[in-house]
Structure formats: C-alpha cells, structure tokens
Chains A and B, each alone.
Chain A
Amino acid sequence: MKLSMANLIKVKIIMGVNMTRIGVYVCHCGGNISDTVDVEEVAQFASKLPDVVVVRSISHMCSESGQKAIIDDVREYKLDRVVVAACSPQFQGSTFEKALVKAGLNPSMVEMANIREQSAWPHYETPEEATEKAKVLTAMAVERIRRTKPVEREAIKIGKNVLVIGGGIAGIQASLDLANAGFNVFLVEEKPSIGGHMAQLSRTFPTEDCASCILSPKMADVADHPNIHLLTYTEILDISGSVGNFKVRLKQKPRYVDPSKCTACGECEKVCPVSVPDEFNLGMTKRKAIYLPSPTAVPHAHVIDENACLGIVPLRCGLCEQACEANAINYDDTPKYINLDIDTIIVATGFEIFDASKKPQYGYGRFQNVITALELERLIVEAAEGHFIRPIGKDIAFIQCVGSRDKQVGNLYCSRICCMYATKLASLLKRADPSRDVYIFYTDLRAYGKGFEEYYRRAQELGVKFIRGRPGELQEDPETKKVIVRVEDTLTRKIIEKKFDLVVLSVGLVPSKGTLKIAEMLKLPRSSDGFLKEAHPKFRPVDTPIEGVFVAGTAQGPKDIPDTVAQASAAAARAMAIMNRGELELSPIKAIVYEEKCDGCGECIEACPVDAIKLNGKARINAAICKGCGACISSCPRDAIDLKIFSNDEIMAEIEAAVKNKKEGEHRILIFADDMCTYTLADGVGTSKMKYPSDTFIIRVPSSSRITPKMMIKAFELGADAIFLGECEEAVSPYPGTLNVIKENVEKAREILKQAGISPERIQYDTFVTVMFPKFVKIANKLHEIAESEEISKEKRMRLREIEVVR
C-alpha cells in the first residue's frame, strides 16, 4: 500500500542500520484530543526530538488504518521503536503492542504518551497549557523509549498436576471439575473422611434438600474417579517452589484399618471398650476408639483413633482385630510420607464456627439449654433417624449475629449465611411441630440470594416470629433450667421477656486453622476479616496474589453452598486455563539482578514482599514468583537490582524530559502512579474532565516502591518542584507490603531535602483506590500550591548533588 502523504509530518533519512529509529504518531482521537490540543503543533515538536525518523498525525490511531501506518512505516523506514501520543496505555496499550508484533518488533518497543486522559481532558479549559503539556508528555515518551531494551517474554513449562487442599464441598467440586477435564487431582483432607461441614447439615436453604443426600453421590464420585488421588487423614508438611514447580510434602496418618479390606460392617465398634466424644456430632454423642467417621464417610471405612485406642502400643486390647472378619485391622500401620510435584494449587480449607463461649453473656457451655446452630443441625438429622440426643422443646429462640458484626470479638464482617440457616432451622422445627413457638431475634435480616426472600416469607407464613432486637444477656431459671431471654423489641421500644426451652446461637464463620496454616505456608495474604485475600476483589475473585494458587469456598470468606460451588468451579477453570496450554507466559515486568554488581549481601531478600529472592552466592530472582513491584530496588546498596520494564534508565529518562522542558516561571510536579490504582484513578479524573494544574506530570510505575530516594533527589536536582508517590490501598493492592518500603524511601529522601534546606513537604505519598477522584485533585492542587509558594534556588538544587544519597 502506498503511504498517505496527508498525515506525514516528517521523514528524516538516517543512514546506517544500528541507529535508533523512532516513529511518533500523534492521534486526534476524532476531536477528543484535537479539539483541545493543537495536534499539528505537537507533531512538529516531536519531529525535532532526537532519533525521531517519522512523525504522523492521524485521526484514529487505534483504527486499523492507524495500526497499518505503524506497520508499514516500521517496514519502510526500518523503525525499531514507536511512540503513540494518544490515550491511556491501559486503554489501548495492548493494541499497539500487537501491531508491533505484526510489524516484527518486540512488543516492549512501543510507548504511549497519554495526551488524552492527562492533557486534552483535564485541561480542556486551557488549550494552550494542554498543548504544552502534550508536547512534554510526548518528549517524555520519546526519551523513555530511547532507553528501552527489548524484553523477551519468558514462559515456563507447566504440567497437569493440581493439588486441592480441603475435602469439603468446595474441594470436592473443584476436584471433580478438574478430574473430568482430564487433569490429575491430588485431593488432600486432614480428616479421615471428605465431606466437610456440608455433610453435617440437615437440609439446605432455600430448597430444603437433604444435605447429605445431595452431597454423598459427589463424595462417591470423588472416591471412584480415576483422575483423583484421594489422600484423607493427610496433613501438608511443607509447600515450596512456584507455579509449574511446587514441591509438596505430605504426611498420611496411620488409619490402622485397611480401607480396601474394611466393609464398614461395624462389628469392631461393638466390641471396642473405649468411648470418646463423637466429633461429627460435636461431642453431643459418643463414638468408639474404632469408628466410622460419618454414616456417609468416604473412604467408607473405619479408622482407629490412636489417642483413644488401648491396643496399639503396647498391645493390650486387640478385641477389634478378633472381631474383624475382613482382616482389615493392622496395628503396625505407620505414617506415610508422600512427595508430590504440583503445577497449580487450589486452597479450599474452609471455615470453623465461632466459639460461642467467647460471648460469656449468652452462657454457652454453662447453660444446658443454650446450643449452637450447628449442634441443632445434628439434633435434627439424628432425630429424623430416630436418635433423640436431647429434647428440643416447644419454645425455641434463635439469636442472630453471635460472633459476627461484633467489634467486641473483633469480627466486623457479616457471616452471610446465619439469617438463612436460622430461617431454615426455624421452619423445619415449626413444620415438624406447628405448636412450637419459634422466635428469631435479629437486627438486620439479610435474604439477598436467589429464592431467599421467598423463603423468608414462607417462614413468616409458617408462624416463625421475627423480632427486631438482640438480647444483651441470657439467664437460666435455676429450677426448670429454661433460658430467660430479655430483649428490646426495637420497633416498639418495649422490653420483652420470655422463657425458652432452647436458645440457639446463630454463630458466625471464622477462618479455619487449616486456612491459617496454609496461608502462612504459601505466604497468602489475608484480608482484615482474617480470610484469604483474592488478587482483585472484582476481576480476579478466585486468584490469590501468588501465581498458580487459587482459592475456593469459605477459606476466602463466609458464603453459602451455591456460592461455594460456583467459586470452586471458577477456581478449577482458572487452574485449567493455566495448565491446559502447557506453558505459562510470565509478565515481562520482573526484577533483574546485575550479577557483576551484586555482592550477595542479601538485603533485598527482606525487602521482597513475596519471597521471590533467594541467595545463592548472588541474589537470584525466581521469575515465576516475582511480581515486578520493584520494592527490592531501593534495598540494594550496590544498585544491582532493576526492573526489566520500567527500568531505572527509563524512569530517569522520563523525569529528565519532564523537567528539562520547564520554562521560566513554570513548575514540575511529578506524580509517580502505581499502575493498578493511582494511574487508573488519574485516567478516571481525566475522563470525568475534572481539572487539576497542568504542571502535574504523571509517571506510570508498577508500584511506587520502585522509586528510590536517589531518583527522587535526582529529580529535585534537575528541576522538580514536588514529588508524589501514589500506591494502591493495601486491601486492593496487587503488591501487599510495599507501603512500608515507600514510607522508608520517602523519609530518607525528605531527610536529604532538609539537609539541603528544601522543605521536606515537597515529597508526599498516599494510598488510593481507583474512585477517589476528589482526593486526587485535592492532592494535585496542594502540591501545586507548595510548588508556587517558594522557588527552589539553584544553589539548593546544586547542594543536593553534593549530599551523598545512600540507595
């Protein structure tokens, strides 16, 4: 195709093949940019920048013809780098990366100058300022791309072995999905049977399906599936490595009963002389030292509780062995240690119920007629099978939010399932005996799910009484042992008092010990509620910040069965998406160690928030773990660490270009913006056409922790008037733990400013989420005021050069 000459601003013929040859493309964006910014002026300006060979101004750069212009120019003029002055790189960055690949260049060789969101839009009322700023932004991009080195995208091999931790409904669902798709699943459960909490429940809300009836076929599928290696009664000793190469050490506890021989006939139980509380019934009934973990246990085999059994060491009893016709019992069983090579991990470690004795005012453990909702589940199941463990009575009260939404016990979150399980249990009790008087004492009733509101209504039709108010404390009638409930009906402001046969505490959910243990082992961050934190609360809800590790079910936060199953399938799909391709392309934004400079001091190891650095004579970075935040850079006393993209050279080139073009009386405020939050926020501010001073220049970085004190001081020396470091709020940050590094770096740089007689106020930092528009504008205005208030003298800037900046 013949190149259109209409939009061609300049072609400079430079001979030689090893020269840097840059093409600059200035976009009109159909008026979005060109209505404010004088695009031709920017293009003319760009044509005078070093190494620029071709400049064009084009109506829509992102259109096919715009992309074609780049591809054709690369071929015709032997360009090796491209700058597109258009919109946000977050918006169209990947479009131009793909165009470069089509043109045969490395995708990292394109840089965008964001003259729409950062100039045309926020400065639409001052077109001249907008044009000037657009020029500087373009110069920054050109200077930066001159320092850019092509980065090869690394890929690692990845197999088909997945470890699922936890055999509750989340782990079961994820395992079945993965196994059906042809992956090798290792399902590890610490208890002798899979099934989790769901196996203990009576019925499920709002459909009132029998929980174990819908669960047990799935449990059986797990046991039968050729692709699932079921490892029950197994604990995880250690996990090391990274995605595609996790090394897992397991310890399988001895069952003392061979599950392949055991027929679960139960003859052994009859002769066993030892009785201990039955965990499955929460200690309300007894089981023997040899026992079937639950009626629907998988594997369906007995197990000997070695802490209760008389006969294991020394051999004192042996009655069960005599009774076992299948010869399944083996007192010499020993723990098995298993090593696995794993590619991806799904954490489905579930929850525990809140320990109700932590609210002593409700008398749990002291009053015989105060029980937890999970205990009531077991009572109802057992009663349906004709086992009456204890009387339930006629007058029954439920108390909501026990251990949830309660600052006094440190749990601010809503457990999400208690409103509906209380409604379900109350309905079941009322339906079984309509003469019962059933109350639910609540504060806010949350019937948010599909069919929940209708279910709530049905409970009200059945005559369950929902009273808005929670009791402060419970008392026991010393004679009848009935529980006296006094509660303020907050709708009428009357204090109600009533005696109940049974008070059921609707206990909330807390992270299980297994969740805490695995979190520590895998360095998985937890959110303020203590549950595992997802990589992004909206768009990566089942990913963890650790590559190749996914989360499913209540390990991530309280949720009901449908949500758990949906999340488990999602986690399985995410794991498949990585494993199915056979290789995983790693993000090119990675830290790199210059070996000739590194002296192996190891200071970077502590700075790394994800433990990606190991010392092996020199610092070595595991690219599969490194997330490319750059927090390690400032820790290195020998400048031996850098990022491959967003390198020190590139960022310094941007800083220099920003301040070099400063005219008399102008100021330069540099905002280093982390890509995920602050940069997105700045784009949002621009898109909303909210104004901020046009001397504000935003420099995109993966995390502001990669800006070292040295860089900040250099920026001031060269002419910056104020510096701001923006970072994601911890709760949404892809790089948890970088904030301390930023704080430290800022303090160091401020100290140096002070020494040079410059106000330390000129360096600031803060955290954002992407919607804090007014906060951003306020900060930009404040920095502008600081910059205007007093000029930094040349002498002071020179003084900075003399102060030795450590790191």
Chain B
Amino acid sequence: MSYYHIEEEENELLAKVEEISGEIVTLCEQCGICTTSCPMADEMDFTPAGIMHAVKIGDKAVLDSKAIWICASCFTCTVRCPRGIDLAKVTEALRQIHLRKNKDHINLEEVKEEELEEDLPPIAIVSALRKFTG
C-alpha cells in the first residue's frame, strides 16, 4: 500500500491551477458526474473527477498524465458539473503548466504522415503549436 504524504510545496499545484483557470478546484465534491459524462474517460489514466482530486491534494503525477491531453475540450463535464466548476478550464490549466515551459515535444517537420493518421491525438498537435500563437 502506497501512501501520499502532502508536503507544503504540494499546494503549489492547486494554487497554480486555480490561478491559471480562475476556478475554485476545492469546490469539487467528487460526485463523478464529469467522469461518466466524458466521452474520452475510458481512455484516460486519470478520470476527470480523479484529475480534480489530484489537483486538490497536489499530486503532481497528474501533470504527467495522458488524460489531460486526451481531453477533447467538449465541455460536457463543464455543463453538467453540479458545483458549476468549469473542468475544461482546469484541464487546460494543467496543459498550460506544460506549455509555459516552452519545451518542444513535437518537431512538426519530423512528424510522419502515418503518425498523424494513426495515434497522435489532434489536441497534442494543437497544443504543441499554440504556444507560438500566444
């Protein structure tokens, strides 16, 4: 059994996400409505409710999750959240934390056509390019 020890610095993630998204993540009551509203939840390593929970306790593993890139920003979670939290903004904030590091994960010229057609999520390409457009 692993346990998660919450250090003072872990609250930085919560503060940062709340600052970027403008949403109050601690409002989340963990009802899970977002998860079963999400068309991509089955593909995710963190469920949408799980993402919210991870941010709340400052679990930085969520930053390395695939889930935040799988999110298609369809906003179904946002329109159904009974607490009125804009989850799409929270997920976007997690992506922004990556993007603001200005690190290139994709060199467009090196992306092969087959890769584009197969398993590269479109959101990843959009995100990779977005930092140049401000």
Chain B residue nearest to A494 in the complex (CB): B47
Interface residue B32 (Cβ < 8 Å from any Cβ of A): yes
How long is the Cα–Cα vector from A731 to B82 in the complex, in angstroms?
Answer: 23
Residues of A within 8 A of B47 (CB): 488, 493, 495
Interface residue A663 (Cβ < 8 Å from any Cβ of B): no
Interface residue B12 (Cβ < 8 Å from any Cβ of A): no
Interface residue B29 (Cβ < 8 Å from any Cβ of A): yes
Q: In the complex the two chains form, is B81's CB within 8 Å of A486's CB?
A: no
Q: In the complex the two chains form, is B31's CB within 8 Å of A469's CB?
A: yes
**5 closest A-B pairs by CB:** A472-B37, A407-B84, A488-B32, A469-B32, A472-B36
How long is the Cα–Cα vector from A302 to B28 in the complex, in angstroms?
Answer: 52
Residues of B within 8 A of A443 (CB): 29-32
Interface residue A473 (Cβ < 8 Å from any Cβ of B): yes
Chain B residue nearest to A486 in the complex (CB): B36
Interface residue A81 (Cβ < 8 Å from any Cβ of B): no
Residues of A within 8 A of B19 (CB): none
Q: In the complex the two chains form, is B49's CB within 8 Å of A490's CB?
A: yes
Interface residue B90 (Cβ < 8 Å from any Cβ of A): no
Q: In the complex the two chains form, is A408's CB within 8 Å of B41's CB?
A: no
Interface residue A180 (Cβ < 8 Å from any Cβ of B): no
Q: In the complex the two chains form, is A487's CB within 8 Å of B81's CB?
A: no
- The residues in B between 56 and 96 inclusive whose CB is less than 8 angstroms from any CB of A are 76-77, 79-84
A residues whose Cβ falls under 8 Å from a Cβ of B: 361, 401, 405-408, 443-444, 468-473, 486-490, 493, 495
Chain A residue nearest to B35 in the complex (CB): A488
Question: Which among A408, A469, A487 is the interface contact of B79 at CB below 8 angstroms?
Answer: A408
- Chain B: residues with Cβ within 8 Å of the partner, total of 23
Q: In the complex the two chains form, is B82's CB within 8 Å of A401's CB?
A: yes
Interface residue B38 (Cβ < 8 Å from any Cβ of A): yes
Residues of B within 8 A of A406 (CB): 82
List 28 A-B pairs, Cβ < 8 Å. Answer: A361-B37, A361-B80, A405-B82, A406-B82, A407-B81, A443-B29, A443-B32, A468-B32, A470-B33, A471-B36, A472-B34, A472-B35, A472-B36, A472-B80, A473-B37, A486-B36, A487-B32, A487-B36, A488-B32, A488-B36, A488-B47, A489-B32, A490-B30, A490-B31, A493-B49, A493-B50, A495-B42, A495-B47
A354 CB to nearest B CB, Å: 13
Chain B residue nearest to A407 in the complex (CB): B84
Chain A residue nearest to B78 in the complex (CB): A408
Question: Which among A401, A473, A495 is the interface contact of B31 at CB below 8 angstroms?
Answer: A401
How long is the Cα–Cα vector from A407 to B84 in the complex, in angstroms?
Answer: 6
B residues whose Cβ falls under 8 Å from a Cβ of A: 29-38, 41-42, 47, 49-50, 76-77, 79-84
Q: In the complex the two chains form, is B82's CB within 8 Å of A495's CB?
A: no
Residues of B within 8 A of A470 (CB): 31-33
Contacts A444-B29, A488-B49 given: A495-B81 contact, CB under 8 Å? no
Chain A residue nearest to B33 in the complex (CB): A472
Residues of A within 8 A of B41 (CB): 488, 495
Chain B residue nearest to A491 in the complex (CB): B30
Chain B residue nearest to A361 in the complex (CB): B80
A629 CB to nearest B CB, Å: 34
Residues of A within 8 A of B49 (CB): 469, 488, 490, 493
Q: Is the interface of B mostly helix, strand, loop or mixed?
A: helix
Chain A residue nearest to B29 in the complex (CB): A443
Chain A residue nearest to B85 in the complex (CB): A407
How long is the Cα–Cα vector from A444 to B80 in the complex, in angstroms?
Answer: 18
Besides A401-B31, A407-B81, A493-B50, 7 more A-B contacts (Cβ < 8 Å) are: A405-B29, A443-B30, A443-B31, A472-B38, A488-B47, A489-B32, A490-B30
Chain B residue nearest to A473 in the complex (CB): B37
Q: In the complex the two chains form, is A407's CB within 8 Å of B80's CB?
A: no
How long is the Cα–Cα vector from A753 to B80 in the complex, in angstroms?
Answer: 50
Residues of B within 8 A of A444 (CB): 29
Q: In the complex the two chains form, is B36's CB within 8 Å of A473's CB?
A: yes
Residues of A within 8 A of B50 (CB): 493
Chain A residue nearest to B76 in the complex (CB): A472
B20 CB to nearest A CB, Å: 22
Residues of B within 8 A of A493 (CB): 47, 49-50
Q: In the complex the two chains form, is A407's CB within 8 Å of B38's CB?
A: no
A727 CB to nearest B CB, Å: 28
How long is the Cα–Cα vector from A681 to B48 in the complex, in angstroms?
Answer: 44
Question: Which among A405, A473, A490 is the interface contact of B32 at CB below 8 angstroms?
Answer: A490
How long is the Cα–Cα vector from A361 to B47 in the complex, in angstroms?
Answer: 20
How long is the Cα–Cα vector from A401 to B29 in the complex, in angstroms?
Answer: 12
Question: Which among A407, A469, A486, A489 is the interface contact of B82 at CB below 8 angstroms?
Answer: A407
How long is the Cα–Cα vector from A486 to B33 in the complex, in angstroms?
Answer: 10
A485 CB to nearest B CB, Å: 9
How long is the Cα–Cα vector from A488 to B49 in the complex, in angstroms?
Answer: 9
Residues of B within 8 A of A361 (CB): 37, 80
How long is the Cα–Cα vector from A486 to B34 in the complex, in angstroms?
Answer: 11
Chain A residue nearest to B27 in the complex (CB): A407
How long is the Cα–Cα vector from A573 to B82 in the complex, in angstroms?
Answer: 39
A201 CB to nearest B CB, Å: 26
Q: In the complex the two chains form, is B30's CB within 8 Å of A495's CB?
A: no
Question: Which among B29, B36, B83 is the interface contact of A495 at CB below 8 angstroms?
Answer: B36
How long is the Cα–Cα vector from A495 to B49 in the complex, in angstroms?
Answer: 11
How long is the Cα–Cα vector from A490 to B7 in the complex, in angstroms?
Answer: 24
How long is the Cα–Cα vector from A418 to B47 in the complex, in angstroms?
Answer: 27
A768 CB to nearest B CB, Å: 24
Contacts A361-B80, A408-B81, A408-B82 given: A471-B30 contact, CB under 8 Å? no
B31 CB to nearest A CB, Å: 4
How long is the Cα–Cα vector from A469 to B84 in the complex, in angstroms?
Answer: 17
Residues of A within 8 A of B36 (CB): 471-473, 486-488, 495
How long is the Cα–Cα vector from A487 to B42 in the complex, in angstroms?
Answer: 12
How long is the Cα–Cα vector from A249 to B123 in the complex, in angstroms?
Answer: 66
Residues of A within 8 A of B33 (CB): 470-472
The CB with the most chain B CB atoms within 10 A, among A408, A468, A472, A489, is that of: A472
How long is the Cα–Cα vector from A333 to B80 in the complex, in angstroms?
Answer: 51
How long is the Cα–Cα vector from A472 to B74 in the complex, in angstroms?
Answer: 14
Residues of B within 8 A of A407 (CB): 81-84
Residues of B within 8 A of A495 (CB): 35-36, 41-42, 47
How long is the Cα–Cα vector from A469 to B50 in the complex, in angstroms?
Answer: 12
How long is the Cα–Cα vector from A489 to B31 in the complex, in angstroms?
Answer: 9
The CB with the most chain B CB atoms within 10 A, among A361, A488, A495, is that of: A488
Residues of B within 8 A of A405 (CB): 29, 82
Residues of B within 8 A of A472 (CB): 32-38, 76-77, 80
How long is the Cα–Cα vector from A487 to B33 in the complex, in angstroms?
Answer: 8
Residues of B within 8 A of A490 (CB): 30-32, 49
Residues of A within 8 A of B76 (CB): 472
Residues of A within 8 A of B81 (CB): 407-408
Residues of B within 8 A of A488 (CB): 32, 35-36, 41, 47, 49
Residues of A within 8 A of B82 (CB): 401, 405-408
A361 CB to nearest B CB, Å: 7
